[in-house]
Structure 1
């Protein structure tokens, strides 16, 4: 019987094809029969891989700072006044000297180091969901009856 005979409208031909097909792959049982049904399941394994790293380090930058510091210094003010020319008993000499110390504030700049903050780092584990898709195969039972076979299904 050929392939195109399957499409024949003749009912008798179709029955013969079904019977021939069943005989080729069917085990005949006397009182009991057993058929295992199988299905696929996913086996999912997770692996930890290195994806990068973080490095903490310090850089030194230079920043010029301008500070206005008020300083003082002495000024000697020479004032001349006219007097009414009174007579004196002291002779004229070049030994009379007045010493006036003059001072000024100077600015000295020094530096010292202070701690202004700190940086720390730590790792934490974050969970997320990743969707996995695959096609699984499953065997299901298909019960066909012919003629007047009385079948009771107990599930």
Structure 2
């Protein structure tokens, strides 16, 4: 009785179809297994927009300003005068000044904002069920089997 004796007849027929060059005295069974093919795609995840917005703020500033005042002092004098009184009017002009506040505006750069992309790598755990084929030997009767196992384990 050979290694493959005990398989059902349709399995034997399938084996005979796949192994045409083997004799009934020996055979080779190819064992297969599934492995994961992992691919990564770069897909859009969103967008960042960086823009400026004008914000208005009322500012109250205390500005010291100066102005001139005319102080009039009158005192009594009792002195004789040699000048006759004429009907001419005598006028003294004293110019008076004050500081006026002029407000202007100018623009200054107060800072800058930069935006750039950087790639960050992390790990995701993927769980998937994989299939593999294993050889099973069925015995019928008193059969000795000597295993010359290499890479594949026989059960």
Alignment partners' CA distance in 2, 1:124 and 1:151: 62
Question: How large is the Cα RMSD of the aligned pairs?
Answer: 2.1
Unaligned runs of 5+ in 2: 17-22, 150-155
Q: Determine the structure 2 residue equivalent to 1:8.
A: none
Q: Which has the higher contact order (CA 8 A, sep 6+)?
A: 2
Question: Partner residue of 1:138?
Answer: 132
Q: Following TM superposition, by how much is the alpha carbon of 1:120 offset from its aligned partner in structure 2, in angstroms?
A: 0.7
Q: How does 1:3-152 map to 2 (within 5 A)?
A: 22-26=8-12, 29-83=23-77, 85-93=78-86, 94-152=88-146
Instruction: Name the TM-score, length of structure 2 as normaliser.
Output: 0.78
Q: CA offsets per residue over residues 35-78 of structure 1, 9 Å max, x none?
A: 01011111111111112211211111211111000001001111
What are structure 1's unaligned runs of at least 5 residues? 1-17
- Alpha-carbon distance between aligned partners in 2 of 1:22 and 1:51, rounded to the nearest angstrom: 54
Secondary structure in structure 1 of the residue aligned to 2:116: coil
Q: How many residues align?
A: 136
Measure the CA separation in 1 of the matches of 2:79 and 2:11.
155
If each structure's helix is expressed as a fraction of its own residues, which one has the higher value? Answer: 1
Q: What displacement does 1:95 show?
A: 4.2
Structure 2 residue matching 1:57: 3-state secondary structure: coil
Q: Report deviation, 1:148.
A: 2.8
Q: For residues 25 and 80 of structure 1, do their structure 2 counterparts lie closer, same or farther at Cα, with a shift above 3 Å needed? A: same
